[in-house]
Structure 1
Amino acid sequence: MKKIVAKQMKTQCRCHGVSGSCAVKTCWRSLPTFHEIGSHLKKLYEHAVAVKCRSHKKLRHREKMKRHIPISHDVLVYMHRSQNYCRSDPSRGVMGTRGRLCNKTVEGPGSCNLLCCGRGYNTQVLRYVNRCHCKFHWCCYVTCESCETMRDIHTCK
């Protein structure tokens, strides 16, 4: 992570002087935005290389056809596949996404398409009845109306 941030640091400069002249120039290194770091890590993750450990702590490609190709120092490597969080696996403490609340109107994080892993979602219409428009009457009592609201709830299949 430290190397990724260091590689993406940028040099920014500002000119100082009378009426816009660049008599004195000040430069500094600035950190990349959180979004830039996240995008770079996602690209590395998507192109990660499966490896297996050899003797003397040397890594090599897991695929036989690529074993002779050296592994670059700037790639992300993994030894075991990531857990599939879409499916339930109680032995590993993974509950899966079945029954999870999602939002069908957004794209990206929180969306039904992403959270439900392509299995689709169920829609329920819930009816809420609440007290509303309450009024206090002098000395001792309150009157309220009953208000009904309907809400769509989406859960993963």
Structure 2
Amino acid sequence: GVSGSCTTQTCWLQLPEFREVGTYLKERYHKALKVDLLQGVGNSAASRGAIAETFSSISKKELVHLEDSPDYCLENKTLGLLGTEGRECLKRGKALSKWEKRSCRRLCGDCGLAVEERRAEMVSSCNCK
């Protein structure tokens, strides 16, 4: 017969929801540490030791960066950034998620811009017979 003890154990690994991963990464991004590496630091034992000491104080869960992020609100043709001024945002619609309904505030308000609402009436021929 079947005994009450288990001979095998099954573990199911499952990824968290995408939004949860995004929120976690966004929090880490905003708390990221800027690391300054000295130009011309050689490959001497002393240099390697100083670099290792710097990085050993940083947790493996923390994000680090060498340069500050650009201002995504402003146009920067060199970096291929369009900025947010003049961009369209979604505000109304039955099928819009809560995230999409906040797009105007995020796109404009976070960059110190005001939302300008435009309405247009479009007339088109539908080739009815």
- Please say which structure displays the higher CA radius of gyration: 1
Q: State the alpha-carbon separation in 1 of the partners of residues 127 and 22 from structure 2.
A: 48
Q: Deviations over 1:90-144 (max 9, x none)?
A: 2322221111110234653561111122311211111111235823xxxxxxxxx
2:25 matched to 1:41? yes
Which of 87, 97, 113 is the matching residue for 2:105? Answer: 113
Deviation at 1:71, TM superposition (A): 2.1
Structure 1 portions without partners, runs of 5+: 1-17, 62-68, 136-157
DSSP-derived class of the 1:30 partner: coil
TM-score by length of 1: 0.55
Deviation at 1:53, TM superposition (A): 1.3
Structure 2 portions without partners, runs of 5+: 42-46
Give the match for residue 152 of structure 1. none
AA in 2 matched with 1:40: Y
Which of 113, 116, 124 is the matching residue for 1:122? Answer: 116
- State the number of aligned residues: 108
The alignment yields a C-alpha RMSD, in angstroms, of 3.1
Are the structure 2 counterparts of residues 47 and 80 from structure 1 closer, same or farther at C-alpha, using a change threshold of 3 Å? same
Higher strand share: 1
Q: Deviations over 1:54-93 (max 9, x none)?
A: 44351749xxxxxxx9222321111111111110122322
Q: State the alpha-carbon separation in 2 of the partners of residues 123 and 108 from structure 1.
A: 19
TM-score by length of 2: 0.65
